[in-house]
């Protein structure tokens, strides 16, 4: 239980559990704690068993990275494995858009024209936004992209910043060499051969540095995190599902026929700081619902 375990051991138990639970050859790393570790007790032992079960139950490829923002404590399970992002790519895209705003290259008030012919593959819920031609501001498209995970808005923003490669270049420049944005939604839906990829290590570090105010100006950071807190594309499932009621979560989900993903910032109770957490699941034999429950359990244990 996060409120009974994490607040006592500041995710040290999680680190020990991953280390104990996973078989040789798996990529499991922890950094040295910035705070003293406490002696393992019954809670630690129980947590170790539960994490072991979660590792074994993934039945596919999984990457998990958790960073306690304020202490720097980091836990990784296959954190350096590149996996498909699906709509999680909209987070680095949002960073690119907001950096360009800060560089005075574009404006949040700038309007882009969207025709029905521009509609990218996706949910009917989002396609209904574009039944008629419309002029939307960059801020509105960014909101749709994050809050509703609207693919048409994302592709229009990619067009505005001159393509996916620009987002990858930005990520490289910011120190995230394992975030590869190579396709628009429409391109990937057509070819299926060039997925956007990243490691959970780089994604969690991106979230960590966002929370620390190292990447965006305060107003733009507040805008982005506000959109992420309003997002409910995963419903109350995934990272949110098993957390105490009212726990603030700023997240971006991603879903595909072969993937179930969630990345986000979790605000801990009682001023205990924040967790930057990224979970990517690919080619799992579990049902989508079971994969969502797995993500929820990982968040609860964190």
Q: pLDDT at position 4, please? A: 38
**For the residues 49-55, what does the mean pLDDT come to?**
65
What is the rounded CA–CA span in Å between residue 134 and residue 84? 31
> CA-CA distances (angstroms) from residue 291 to 59, 259, 264, 279?
10, 9, 17, 10
Both tokens of 71, joined, read 């202490």
CA dihedral 278, 283, 287, 288 (to 10 degrees): 40
Spans of all domains in the chain: 2-81+199-223+247-301, 86-191
CB-based contact 149:231 (threshold 8 Å): yes
Banded model confidence at residue 49, pLDDT cuts 50, 70, 90:
low
Residues 6+ apart with CB under 8 A from 268: 2, 6, 7, 247, 274, 275
Three-class SS of residue 299?
helix
Distance CA 263, CA 57 (A): 20
Give the distance, in angstroms, between the CA of residue 15 and the centroid of all CA atoms in the same chain: 20
Asked if 40 and 17 count as a contact pair (C-beta separation under 8 A), the reply is: no
- For 54-97, the pLDDT digits (tens) are 877 899 999 988 899 999 988 878 889 999 999 999 999 999 99
- Contact status, residue 1 vs residue 269, Cβ threshold 8 Å: no
Give the other-Cβ count within 10 Å of 105's Cβ.
11
Q: For residue 57, what are the contacts with CB-CB under 8 A and spacing of at least 6?
A: 286, 294
Q: How many helices (H) and strands (E) does the chain have?
A: 12, 11
Q: CA nearest 195: which of 255, 127, 251, 252? A: 255
Confidence of residue 51 (pLDDT cuts 50, 70, 90): low
List pLDDT tens digits, range 250-301.
Answer: 999 999 999 999 999 999 999 999 999 999 999 999 999 999 999 999 998 8
Q: What's the rounded Cα separation, in Å, for the pair 43 and 60?
A: 28
pLDDT > 90? residue 197: yes
Query: Could you tell me the pTM of the whole model?
Result: 0.86
Contacts of 84 (CB under 8 A, 6+ apart): 195, 196, 197, 254, 256, 258, 259, 261, 280, 282
Q: To the nearest whole percent, how much of the chain has pLDDT over 70?
A: 82
Q: 3-class DSSP state for residue 70?
A: coil
Q: What's the pLDDT at 52?
A: 56
Token readout for 205 is: 């570090």
**Per-residue confidence (pLDDT) for residue 74, from 0 to 100:** 81
CATH of domain 86-191: 3.40.710.10
Give the tens place of pLDDT for each residue, 117-160.
999 999 999 989 999 999 999 999 999 999 999 999 999 999 99
Give the whole-number percent of the chain exceeding pLDDT 90: 71
Distance CA 55, CA 132 (A): 47
Query: Is 6 strand, coil or helix?
Result: helix
pLDDT over 50 (residue 15): no
* Beta-bridge mates of residue 276: 67, 265
């Amino acid at each position: 239980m996060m409120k009974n375990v994490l607040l006592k051991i500041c995710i040290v138990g999680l680190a020990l559990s991953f280390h104990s639970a996973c078989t040789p050859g798996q990529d499991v790393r922890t950094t040295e704690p910035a705070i003293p570790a406490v002696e393992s007790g019954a809670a630690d032992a129980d947590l170790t068993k539960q994490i072991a079960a979660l590792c074994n139950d993934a039945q596919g490829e999984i990457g998990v990275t958790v960073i306690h923002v304020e202490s720097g404590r980091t836990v990784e399970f296959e954190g350096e494995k590149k996996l498909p992002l699906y709509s999680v790519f909209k987070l680095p895209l949002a960073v690119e858009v907001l950096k360009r705003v800060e560089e005075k290259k574009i404006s949040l008030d700038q309007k882009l024209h969207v025709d029905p012919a521009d509609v990218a593959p996706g949910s009917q819920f989002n396609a209904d936004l574009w039944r008629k031609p419309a002029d939307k501001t960059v801020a509105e498209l960014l909101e749709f992209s994050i809050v509703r995970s609207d693919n048409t808005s994302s592709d229009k923003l990619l067009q505005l910043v001159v393509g996916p490669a620009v987002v990858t270049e930005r990520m490289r420049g910011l120190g995230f060499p394992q975030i590869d944005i190579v396709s628009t939604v429409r391109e990937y839906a057509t070819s299926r051969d060039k997925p956007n990829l990243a490691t959970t290590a780089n994604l969690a570090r991106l979230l960590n540095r966002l929370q620390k105010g190292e990447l965006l100006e305060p107003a733009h950071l507040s805008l982005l995190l506000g959109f992420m807190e309003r997002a409910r594309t995963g419903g109350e499932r995934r990272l949110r599902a098993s957390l105490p009621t009212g726990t603030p979560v700023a997240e971006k989900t991603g879903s595909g026929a072969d993937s179930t993903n969630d990345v986000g910032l979790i605000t801990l109770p009682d001023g205990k700081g924040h967790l930057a957490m990224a979970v990517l699941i690919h080619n799992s034999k579990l049902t989508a619902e079971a994969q969502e429950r797995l993500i929820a359990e990982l968040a609860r244990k964190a």
